[in-house]
Amino acid sequence: MRGVELRRCSFLRLACFLSLLVTIRSSDAGDLDLLMSFKTAVANPQLLPSWDALRGPCSFSGVTCGAGGRVVAVVLQSVPLGAEFRTVSSSVLALGGLVSLSLRAVNLTGDVSEVRCGGRLTELDLSGNSLQGSLTDVASLAAACSGLKSLNLSGNSVGVPPMAAGDGPAAVGFELETLDLSFNKISGEFDLRWLLSSLGSLRRLDLVGNSLSGGILAITNCSYLQHLDLSYSGLSGEIGDGVFGHCRSLAYLNLSSNHFTGTLPSDLSSCTSLRTLSLSNNNFSGEFPIETLTSLPYLAILEFAFNDVNGSLGDSITRMPMLEVLDLSSNRLSGSIASELCPNPGFALNTLDLQNNQLTGGIPESLSNCTKLVTLDLSLNYLTGAIPSGLGSLPSLRDLIMWQNLLEGEIPPELANLRSLENLILDNNGLNGSIPTGLVNCTSLNWLSLSSNHLSGTIPPWIGQLRNLAILKLGNNSFSGPIPPELGDCKSLVWLDLNNNQLSGSIPPTLAKQSGKIAVGLVTGEPYVYLKNDGTSGCRGTGNLLEFAGIRPEDLDRLPSRRFCNFTRVYKGLTQYTFNNNGSMLFLDLSFNQLTGQIPKELGNMYYLLILNLGHNFLSGLIPTDLGSLRYVAVLDLSHNSLEGPIPSSFSGLAMLAEIDLSNNELNGSIPELGQLATFPRYRYENNSGLCGFPLPSCEDNAGANSSTQHQKSNRRQASLAGSVAMGLLFSLFCIFGLIIIAVESKKRQKKKDCSNCSRDIYFDSRSHSGTANSNWKLTATKDALVINLATFEMPLRKLCFADLHSKLRISDVFDPELLKEDPSLELELLEHLKIACSCLDDRPLRRPTMLRVMTMFKEIQAGLSMNATSSAPAASMDGGFYEGDMSLKESKEEKD
C-alpha cells in the first residue's frame, strides 16, 4: 500500500512539472511571436539582426528576461527603426510580463492613442521621436497602463492642437509618479491649467521647452509634487501669492528663462522642502528677497542670474548655511559683500557667482572659511583693495575669476597652494609686481589671464612646465626681457597674447614645438567673448579674449577700453576643439614690443593658426616663405617693422585671409598677382619704398619716364584696368555693407524689437569652408544674438567673385543659414546683392557697371524690383535707405582716401 502511494505522488509531481514546462514554453512562444511581429512591422528590420525566430527572445539584443524566461524589459535607443506607434501598442506593449520599455529616438510616428498595455508595465520611455496627440491622449495612455509609474514623452510633438476649455477630462488625477512632456508642442493657458490641476500622485512634472502662455495660477493639488520644471516655456507676468503655498513637499522648482516680472511671492517660504530654486533669465525686479529665501532651511542651489534685482546682499549668505550654489550674476546688486561671508569652515558654499553687478568695497577675508569653494567669480564689479591671501588656503578652488575690477597690489604668492586651480583670470585690474613663482605648482592651470594690469619683470620660463595650459594672456602690461623659449614646451597652448609690453630679443622658434601634437581640448565648452580691435590709436593688439560666463553682452560698454577701442565686431560663444591629434596654436599676438631679428620660419608649421600679429616691433630680414603654409590664417599683421625683400609668392595661397597688413616696412618687388592679395586696400601695403603692383602703383611706373610710347600706352591701359578693379572693389565694399544692413534690418523685421547691438553681435567660426578640413578649432556661437558669420562672409566672397567669376554662388556660404530659415524670401534678395558685388569685380571692363548703374541696382532691390524678371524678392525696409543708414562697420579714413 505504501508503494502505491509513493508511485501516485511521483506521478503527480511529473504531471505538475510537465504542466509548468508547457506553460513556460507557451509564454515564451507568445513573447517571441509579439517581438517578431514588431520586427516585421518596422521600416528597417535589418537593424535587429539578432532578433531571429529560431532563437529564444532572451537572446535578442536589447531584451531582458526575468524568472521563468518571460520578457521583462526592452531597451532600444537611437536605432532608426521607423515604426508606427500602433505597431508598438499591438506588439511590444502587449507583452504580459513587460516591466520597462524604452524606445528612445527610434523614429516612432503616429498618435499616442488606442493603447494596449501589459498589467506589469511601470516604466515607459518614448522620448525623442515624432509622436503626436493631445493631452487627453496622454491621459488615456496613462489610464490604459494601470500600473505605469513613469512616462517620458519628451522631444515629441505632443500637444498639437492645444486643448480648449472643456476638451479634456476635468482633473484626471494621474496615478503616475513621473511625467516628462518637455520639448513638445504644448501651448495655451488652458493646457497648463489642466496639467497643474491633474497632478494626482505626480511627484515629478517636466514641461521644459514648450510654448505655454500667460502666468501660473494657484496650484492646490500638489501635496505629492517634489519636482516641477517650467523653464523655457514662454510664461510671463507676475507670480502672485498662493501659487506654490500648498506645495510643501516641493524640493525642485525651475522657472528660469521665462518672462516673469515683479517680485518673488512671499508664500514661496511655505515650500520648506525646497533644495533647488532656479529663477534665472527672467525680469524679476525689486530688492533681493532676503527674508523669503532665508526662510527655506534646506535651500542648497539658488540661481537668480540675469534679472533686474537690486539692493544689497546684506548678511543673506551667512543665514543660509546649507547653500552650496549661489548665482546672482547680471543683476543690479550694490553695496559690499558681507564681511562674515562664511562664518565657519563648515559652510557648504562651493559656487559663488556675483559677476556683472555693481558691488563695491573689498573682497572679504572670511572667504578663507569657505573651505568647500570650487568657483569664485566676482568679475565686472567695482571691487577695490587687494586679493586676500587667505584664498590660497581653499583646497578645492578651481576657478578664481575677478576680471574688470579695481583691485590693486600684488598677486598673492599663497595662490601657489591651489593645486586644483584651472582658471586664474584677473584681467583689467590695477595689479602690480611680478608673476608669483609658486604658480608653477598649479599644474592643472589651463587658462591664465593677467592682461591689462601693471605687472612687470620677466615672463618666467617655468610657465613652459604647465603642460595643461591652453590660454596665456599677459598683454598690456610692462613685462620686459626675452620671450622664454620654454613656452614652446606648453603642449596644449592654443592662445598666446603678449602684445603691448617691453619684450626684447628675438622670437623663439620653439614656440612652434607643439604644432601637430595638440589633441586634448582643455577649455572646451567655456563661454568666451572676443573683442576685435578696429585699429584706432591707443587700441593695441588684435583683440581681447575674455571669459564670459554670466555677463550680458550689452554690459561690455562698462569696460574702460570701450572709450578708446571701437568694438565694431564682437564674437561670442563656446570654445570647442575639433583637432584630430594634430592641432597647433590658433592665436599668436606679439605686437607692440621691442622684438628684433628675423621671423622664425618655424612659425609656418602652425597649420591651424588663425591670427598672427607681429606688427610694431623691430623685426628685420626676409619674410619667410614658410608662412605661406598657414592655410587657415585670417589675420596677418607684419606692419611697422624693418622687413625687406619681396612678398613671398607663397602668400598667393592664403585663401582664408580676411585682413593683411604689410605696411611700413622696407619691402620691395611686385605684389603677387595670384590669389587675393590685390583685393586688400592700398594702405595695407604703403610705406614700402620698393613695393609696387596693384593696389599700389604699377612696377612699370617705378622704372622711370624713359620708356617708349608703346610702353606708356601699356601703362595707361594697366592703370585704367587697376582703376577699374579698384572701383570694382569699392563697389563690392558698398555691396558688403548693404548685405550687413539688410541682415540687421531683416532681424528687426522678424523679431519686431530693438536690435541696437546687432551690429556687434557677430560670431567667429574658424571652420574651413572647403569641406575638407575637420581638425581645426571652433568658437561655437550662441544662437540668440548672432547675425553675420564673418568667416563665411568676407573670405568666400573674395574667393567666389575674384578668384573664379564663374563659380556658382551659394548664398549659404555667405550668410548664417539660421537667418535664412527665419525669412526664406531673403535668399533671393541677398543673391541680387551678390550679383552686384561680383559684377563689380568682373575681369571684363566693359561688363563692369558704372557707379550710376550700381546705385540704380541698389535702389531697385530696396524698392522690391529685381535684376531679372524671374525674381520675386520683396522690398527691404531700410529705414532711410542704404546711404543714410547708421552703420557701425564703417570705412576707416585710410580706406576712404
For 109-151, the pLDDT digits (tens) are 999 987 888 889 999 999 999 999 988 889 889 888 889 999 9
Is the pLDDT at 709 greater than 50? The verdict is no
Kindly report the backbone phi and psi dihedral angles of residue 401, in degrees, each rounded to the nearest multiple of 5, phi listed first: -125, 115
At residue 177, what is the residue type? E
Of 247-251, 697-701, 776-780, highest mean pLDDT: 247-251
- For 325-335, what is the mean pLDDT? 97
Inter-residue contact 785 to 553 (CB < 8 Å): yes
Name the grid cell of 754. 530693438
The b/e string for 584-611 (b: 16+ C-beta within 10 A; e otherwise) is bbbbbbbbbbebeeebbbbbbbbbbbbb
Looking at residue 471, its pLDDT comes to 95
Is the pLDDT at 464 greater than 60? The verdict is yes
Which among 523, 575, 573 is positioned nearest to 783, based on CA atoms? 573
Lowest mean pLDDT among 194-198, 361-365, 738-742, 797-801: 738-742
- For 63-83, what is the mean pLDDT? 93
- For 662-669, what is the mean pLDDT? 96
Which among 497, 460, 454, 496 is positioned nearest to 475, based on CA atoms? 497
Residue 837 pLDDT class (50, 70, 90 cuts): low
- For 55-78, what is the mean pLDDT? 93
CB-side neighbour CA atoms (13 Å) of 661: 19
Name the grid cell of 60. 535578442
Residues 6+ apart with CB under 8 A from 845: 720, 721, 724
Inter-residue contact 216 to 191 (CB < 8 Å): no
Cα–Cα dist 309/311, whole Å:
7
Is the pLDDT at 749 greater than 70? The verdict is no
User: Among all chains, which residue has been given the C-alpha cell 585704367?
Assistant: 720
Q: How many CB atoms lie within 10 A of CB 808?
A: 6
**β-strand pairing of 204-206 with 178-180:** parallel
Residue 252 pLDDT class (50, 70, 90 cuts): very high
User: Among all chains, which residue has been given the C-alpha cell 606708356?
Assistant: 712
Q: What are 364-419's pLDDT values in tens digits?
A: 999 999 999 999 999 999 999 999 999 999 999 999 999 999 999 999 999 999 99
Q: In this structure, what DSSP letter does residue 518 have?
A: B
Q: Average model confidence (pLDDT) for the chain?
A: 80
Cα–Cα dist 615/605, whole Å:
20
Q: Which residue has the higher pLDDT, 247 or 761?
A: 247
Which among 411, 458, 449, 412 is positioned nearest to 430, based on CA atoms? 411
Cα–Cα dist 238/234, whole Å:
13
Is the pLDDT at 454 greater than 50? The verdict is yes
Looking at residue 750, its pLDDT comes to 44
Residue 165 pLDDT class (50, 70, 90 cuts): low
- For 622-644, what is the mean pLDDT? 96
Residue 833 pLDDT class (50, 70, 90 cuts): low
Looking at residue 345, its pLDDT comes to 87
- For 220-244, what is the mean pLDDT? 92
**Separation in Å, CA 533 to CA 341, 540, 544, 547, 891:** 39, 8, 8, 17, 14
Can you give the three-state secondary structure of 811-865, one letter per residue?
A: HHHCCCHHHHHHCCCHHHHHHHHHHHHHHHCCCCHHHCCCHHHHHHHHHHHHCCC
- CA angle, residues 312, 316, 321, in degrees to nearest 5: 160
Looking at residue 29, its pLDDT comes to 61
Lowest mean pLDDT among 82-91, 190-199, 474-483: 190-199
Which among 621, 647, 613, 611 is positioned nearest to 764, based on CA atoms? 611
Is the pLDDT at 563 greater than 80? The verdict is no
- For 246-262, what is the mean pLDDT? 95
Is the pLDDT at 538 greater than 70? The verdict is yes
Residues 6+ apart with CB under 8 A from 346: 321
Tell me the CA end-to-end span of the chain in Å, nearest whole number: 126
Looking at residue 397, its pLDDT comes to 97
- For 18-33, what is the mean pLDDT? 56
